[in-house]
Structure 1
Amino acid sequence: MARAVLEPRADREIFVVPLEVRPEHIDDNGHVNNVVYVGWLQDAGTAHWNARFDDATRARWSWVATRHEVDYFRPLPPGARGVAARTWVGDPQGPRFNRYVRIEDGEGRVCAQGVSEWVLVDSATMRPHRIPATMLEAFRR
């Protein structure tokens, strides 16, 4: 069964992270390895967080990924140029929310997409904490 391409809600900011396909990303099948995509999901989420919040906020709070799910549509070959991750967040559910990521090639075609579940934790105690409404505002359009 084919998966539908993820589409962001109209009220969510889409954050774009340029990606580089490096020689060490290529597996024995001649395309970007699956493990690299999982790293890109995490990198996109971290970059979005770091871009929207100041040092003090990032020192108080941290995010822990508890789940990643990836769908692959087309391979990224060696030397692919213009690759980018587009990411946005879902609705908070207590201390959790889903983060959505599309990996697109230089022509804007979706090569892979993923959903990661993230949990907000207090950096000092590492205990989960309900996502403050003010925090979600930073991810809105």
Structure 2
Amino acid sequence: MARQTLTPREDRETFEVPLEIRPEHIDANGHVNNVVYVGWLQDAGTAHWNARFDEATRAKWSWVALRHEIDYLRALMPDDTAVARTWVGDPQGPRFARYVRIEDGQGRLCAQGVSEWCLVDAQTMRPTRIPADMLPTFERR
């Protein structure tokens, strides 16, 4: 059963990533294959992280995906354009929920997803509580 339509939070920045639909993304049914969406969820989150944090911070911390959940609502076809819009939820210790909407060129919701990510120390790979000073970076600008 599909969840409610995900809507960006008023207090969070919504980061936008254009998506490229490549020939290898198209499956036997003639539309973007479902596994491509998992990659797009990860790509959107990574692009947001890379755009907002400097190299030193990214060298200190890393993120590990714990789970992905996706609702597929409208097929993306080979000639479509698409964009991912992503934002984060509230930190829960070392974990963050990241939300992603995938829309076509007309702004119609095609898929939506929630990923759970865990912050880890990049050297030890041990989970680390999300620092309080990290959250303001994800707030609406």
2-structure distance, mates of 1:89, 1:3: 17
Residue 102 of structure 1: aligned partner: 101
Residues 1-141 of structure 1: pairs in structure 2 closer than 5 A:
1-81=1-81, 83-141=82-140
Tell me the CA shift for residue 79 of structure 1.
1.6
Q: Provide structure 1 residue ranges, at least 5 long, that are not aligned to the other structure.
A: none
State the Cα deviation string for residues 10-51 of structure 1 (Å, max 9, x = none): 000000000011110000011000100000000000000000
2-structure distance, mates of 1:120, 1:39: 19
Tell me the CA shift for residue 80 of structure 1.
0.9
CA contact (8 A) 2:2 2:71 kept: no
Tell me the CA shift for residue 3 of structure 1.
2.9
Tell me the CA shift for residue 116 of structure 1.
0.2
4+ residue stretches of structure 1 with deviation over 4 A? none
State the Cα deviation string for residues 114-137 of structure 1 (Å, max 9, x = none): 000000000010000000111111
Question: Match for 1:122: what amino acid?
Answer: D
2-structure distance, mates of 1:2, 1:137: 31
Cα RMSD, aligned residues only: 0.7
| TM-score, normalised by the number of residues in structure 2 | 0.97
